[in-house]
Structure 1
Amino acid sequence: MQARERLVRSMQELMGERGYVATSPKAIQVHAGAGQGSMYHHFSGKADLARAALTGTAEDMQAAAEQLLSAPGTALERLTGYLRRERDALRGCPVGRHALDPEVVADVALREPVAATFRWLRERIAGIVAEGQAAGEFPATLDPEAIAAAVVATVQGGYVLARAASDPAAFTAATEGAVQMLTGLGR
């Protein structure tokens, strides 16, 4: 693995554990086994490295979601697959946790990969709901964007519930509730 990739992965891991502010350039360098010169050769500073790390984390999350959302099956089956995907509920969402980091939210360049991921996810899910409407699975009266927002909010809220209770069953209860609601909407 090249130094740039080691630095990005180290930043992803450390930001996921500690947040942006508590992740020092020195800790990143030690974790990556890279020197200061290497870090500043590849990145203009900590914020530039953090943006690369957030972008990589967002791309990984989108790829994992897309695999499920583009799988064969009905719209309901694909949405159910997404909701029931195995996740480490106590660790939280690899992207969503950064929406709670004040330093990330305050910096447009750092916030953008987080915001873009959730925009993409809502749009992708809304498209699947619309496909389900066209196929007669869901009523035409549904607002696909609202359903998509509710699905994304359920997953993100499920992480919060699980972490607050220190119990992954809280996440499962939230996502299973969403599956039941979507199933009830079907015809």
Structure 2
Amino acid sequence: MTAEERLIESTRELLWERGYVGTSPKAIQQRAGAGQGSMYHHFSGKPDLALAAVRRTAEDMRAKAEVQFSGEGTAIERISAYLLREREVLRGCPIGRLTQDPDIVASPSLRRPLEETFDWLRGRLAEVLAEGRSRNEFAVDLDPADTAATIIAVLQGGYVLARAADSTEPFDRAVNGVLALLAARTRTA
């Protein structure tokens, strides 16, 4: 891995663990095993490096989700695969946690990849749901856009509740609950 890659990856991890303020250039350099000169050779400063890290996290989240969304199976099977995949629940969503960071949301450039990722996720879920509805997997009156927004809200809320309880149980219950609601809207239900 190049110094630039190590800096981005280290920043991603530190942002997820500590937030923007807690991610100092010195901590980034130590974790990356890179010097100050290397950091400022590749990036104009902490905001530039943080933006690269946030973008990388967003790209990674989209790529992982797309594996399930474009996979084999019915719409509900693909959405279930997405919701039930392995996650580091107690660490929180790598994108969702950043929305709770006042320094990230105060910066339009750092907030933009978060907005774009949630917009993409909502849109992609709505596409899968609409596809399922067109294949008569779901009730005709199922609204793909509203249902997609609900799924995302439940997932993000599940992370928050799990972190607050220091237990994955609230997350698991939230996911199981939204899957049960979705299953109740299938044509075979």
TM-score under structure 2 length normalisation: 0.97
Any stretches of 5+ residues in structure 1 without a counterpart? none
Q: Which amino acid aligns with 1:100?
A: Q
2:137 corresponding residue in structure 1: 137
In 1, distance between residues paired with 2:183 and 2:85? 17
2:169 corresponding residue in structure 1: 169
1:75 corresponding residue in structure 2: 75
In 2, distance between residues paired with 1:108 and 1:6? 25
1:119 corresponding residue in structure 2: 119
**1:21 corresponds to 2:21:** yes
Q: SS in structure 2 opposite 1:90?
A: helix
Q: How many residues align?
A: 187
* Runs of 4 or more consecutive aligned structure 1 residues displaced over 3 Å after TM superposition: none
Q: SS in structure 1 opposite 2:184?
A: helix
1:150 corresponding residue in structure 2: 150
Deviations 1:21-57 (A, max 9, x none): 1111111111111111111110111000000000111
Deviations 1:119-158 (A, max 9, x none): 1000000001100110011122222111000011111010
In 2, distance between residues paired with 1:165 and 1:3? 38
2:3 corresponding residue in structure 1: 3
In 2, distance between residues paired with 1:32 and 1:88? 22
In 2, distance between residues paired with 1:91 and 1:28? 19
- Offset at residue 87 of structure 1 (A): 1.2
Q: SS in structure 1 opposite 2:91?
A: coil
- Offset at residue 82 of structure 1 (A): 1.1
1:109 corresponding residue in structure 2: 109
Q: Which amino acid aligns with 1:36?
A: Q
Deviations 1:86-111 (A, max 9, x none): 11111100111000000000001100
Q: What's the C-alpha RMSD, in Å, of the aligned pairs?
A: 0.7
TM-score under structure 1 length normalisation: 0.98
* Sequence identity (%): 57
In 1, distance between residues paired with 2:83 and 2:9? 27
